[in-house]
């Protein structure tokens, strides 16, 4: 049992865990996360292994969570162990039993003591031996470092797993209202830039319940718009057909066309929209529709059925007449007392809305600060002890150069 506990709190085990977490994190950075299963089927020939190993969501996979928990246990045990080992009095007692390695007369020893006291060295006297300690606070460096790393891991995990994430589509010139009243307004969206290259960007505005606004700003995949507890990312995109419908009285309505929707005034005669195609090819009398393209739709085509009844007062299937038709942006169709004007398709964004507590972010920054302080204390404030004996003095510590220089300068100034 002792061997198991010793391994769990060892640096070797901690380094192994850090290495595994780093490798998994690299995989999570290279492979897009959180996509639908069909995305990986289409883009990865080894999608079976990828999905089985949960590489589509590595940061929430069971093995990544287990590694993070084990790392926290390792760091916690290391921190407790290092706290228990902090015992300055034990080293001071050992110094009091030592001997001088540099002989000096009483006047020089008095000057050395005075110099050490002026530099605020901690003084302890045991059995007639005066022990001065410089950089006493440095003893806590490794403990504070491990504590900072532990807190960083914990708060980073909280920052990763506690936020609420919502994927939401929104049409341009429309807005999304969150549960707390925050509004996310989409001003515009484009799939391609002015040169025709793919460049998915939304121009959005986030307004908090208290009226604080981000103003109109662009968001892309890796560059969110952040305000308050919210971060809004450009996640996905889509293209949808649209039509303006006008009745005989001049009433007008703009409708986005989803697949298999029936538009009618009386419920009998109208158009039954089937699908929107991004492009077409025509070779003489042969006409074929293109089902998919990358980027914007170059030559969009609307496919629909014109629905009519041979007998206006009948609603029987035998009297139903459906005529397949095509329409292009700018075309007009009359059906059942309605005027249909087909518009250019609308490109719209899919936004990933992430809400996380600012307190956790502040705690994460604080943990980084604690870890930095630990590193500074560990490497720049290593403790040095000076034992003043009857016949001289002895300097103990890994890096006594500063104290030696301090004593030399004091003795040199005295001789002058």
104 and 224 assigned to the same domain? no
307 and 340 assigned to the same domain? yes
In a domain, 377, yes or no: no
pLDDT for the residue numbered 142: 86
pLDDT for the residue numbered 315: 55
In a domain, 175, yes or no: yes
In a domain, 76, yes or no: no
237 and 339 assigned to the same domain? yes
259 and 328 assigned to the same domain? yes
Q: What is the mean pLDDT of residues 13-38?
A: 85
304 and 180 assigned to the same domain? yes
- Which CATH number is 122's domain given? 3.30.310.10
pLDDT for the residue numbered 82: 67
Where is the domain boundary, 63, 78, 109?
Answer: 63
Residues 6 or more apart whose CB falls under 8 angstroms from that of 87 comprise none
Q: What is the mean pLDDT of residues 174-178?
A: 94
Provide the token pair at 41: 């089927």
Closest C-alpha to 346, from 93, 166, 170 = 170
Structural domain range at position 316: 166-355
| pTM reported for the whole predicted model | 0.61
228 and 272 assigned to the same domain? yes
pLDDT for the residue numbered 28: 86
Report the chain's mean pLDDT, rounded to a whole number: 87
pLDDT for the residue numbered 239: 92
CB 333 within 8 A of CB 307: no
In a domain, 128, yes or no: yes
Where is the domain boundary, 320, 337, 355?
Answer: 355
Confidence of residue 213 (pLDDT cuts 50, 70, 90): very high
pLDDT surpasses 70 at 1: no
pLDDT for the residue numbered 221: 78
Provide the token pair at 94: 């050992």
pLDDT digits (tens, 9 = 90+) for 393-402: 999 988 888 8
Q: What is the mean pLDDT of residues 330-355?
A: 92
The count of other CB atoms within 10 Å of the CB of residue 203 is 17
48 and 176 assigned to the same domain? no
In a domain, 140, yes or no: no
Q: What is the mean pLDDT of residues 212-227?
A: 90
pLDDT for the residue numbered 310: 65
In a domain, 11, yes or no: yes
285 and 343 assigned to the same domain? yes
343 and 388 assigned to the same domain? no
In a domain, 239, yes or no: yes
Tell me the three state secondary structure of residue 193.
Answer: coil
199 and 342 assigned to the same domain? yes
The span from the CA of 412 to the CA of 122, in Å, is 24
pLDDT for the residue numbered 241: 94
189 and 243 assigned to the same domain? yes
295 and 236 assigned to the same domain? yes
Q: How many domains does the chain have?
A: 3
In a domain, 142, yes or no: no
Where is the domain boundary, 338, 355, 372?
Answer: 355
pLDDT digits (tens, 9 = 90+) for 312-340: 555 555 567 888 999 999 999 998 889 99
Confidence of residue 186 (pLDDT cuts 50, 70, 90): very high
Within its chain, how far is the Cα of 134 from the centroid?
Answer: 42
pLDDT surpasses 80 at 36: no
pLDDT digits (tens, 9 = 90+) for 77-123: 777 766 766 777 888 888 888 898 889 899 889 999 999 999 999 99
């Amino acid at each position: 049992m002792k061997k198991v506990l010793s391994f769990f709190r060892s640096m070797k085990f901690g380094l192994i865990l850090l290495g595994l977490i780093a490798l998994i994190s690299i995989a999570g950075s290279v492979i897009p996360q959180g996509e639908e299963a069909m995305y990986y089927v289409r883009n990865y020939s080894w999608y079976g292994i990828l999905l089985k190993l949960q590489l589509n969501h590595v940061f929430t996979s069971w093995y990544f969570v287990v590694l993070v928990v084990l790392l926290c246990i390792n760091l916690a045990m290391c921190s407790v162990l290092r706290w228990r080992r902090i015992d300055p009095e034990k080293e001071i007692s050992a110094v009091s039993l030592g001997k001088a390695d540099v002989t000096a007369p009483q006047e020089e020893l008095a000057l050395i003591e005075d110099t050490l006291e002026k530099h605020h060295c901690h003084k302890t006297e045991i059995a007639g031996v005066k022990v001065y300690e410089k950089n006493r606070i440095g003893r806590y460096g490794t403990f504070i470092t491990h504590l900072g790393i532990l807190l960083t891991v914990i708060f980073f995990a909280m920052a990763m797993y506690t936020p609420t994430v919502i994927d939401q589509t929104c049409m341009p010139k429309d807005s999304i209202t969150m549960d707390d009243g925050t509004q996310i307004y989409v001003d515009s969206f484009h799939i391609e830039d002015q040169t025709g290259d793919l460049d998915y960007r939304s121009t959005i505005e986030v307004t908090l319940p208290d009226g604080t606004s981000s103003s109109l700003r662009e968001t892309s995949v890796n560059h969110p718009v952040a305000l308050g507890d919210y971060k809004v990312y450009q996640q996905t995109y889509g293209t949808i057909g649209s039509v303006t419908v006008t009745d005989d009285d001049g009433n007008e309505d703009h409708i986005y066309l989803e697949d298999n929707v029936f538009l009618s005034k009386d419920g009998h005669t109208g158009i039954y929209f089937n699908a929107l195609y991004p492009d077409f090819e025509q070779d003489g009398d042969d006409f074929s529709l293109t089902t998919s393209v990358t980027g914007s739709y170059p030559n969009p085509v609307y496919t629909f059925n014109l629905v009519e009844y041979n007998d206006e007062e009948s609603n029987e299937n035998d009297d139903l007449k459906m005529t397949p038709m095509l329409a292009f942006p700018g075309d007009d169709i009359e059906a059942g007392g309605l005027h249909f004007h087909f518009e250019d398709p609308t490109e719209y964004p899919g936004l990933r809305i992430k809400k996380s507590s600012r307190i956790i972010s502040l705690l994460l920054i604080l943990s980084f600060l604690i870890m930095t302080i630990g590193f500074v204390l560990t490497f720049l404030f290593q403790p040095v002890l000076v034992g003043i004996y009857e016949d001289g003095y002895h300097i103990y510590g890994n890096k006594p150069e500063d104290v030696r220089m301090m004593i030399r300068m004091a003795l040199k100034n005295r001789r002058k």
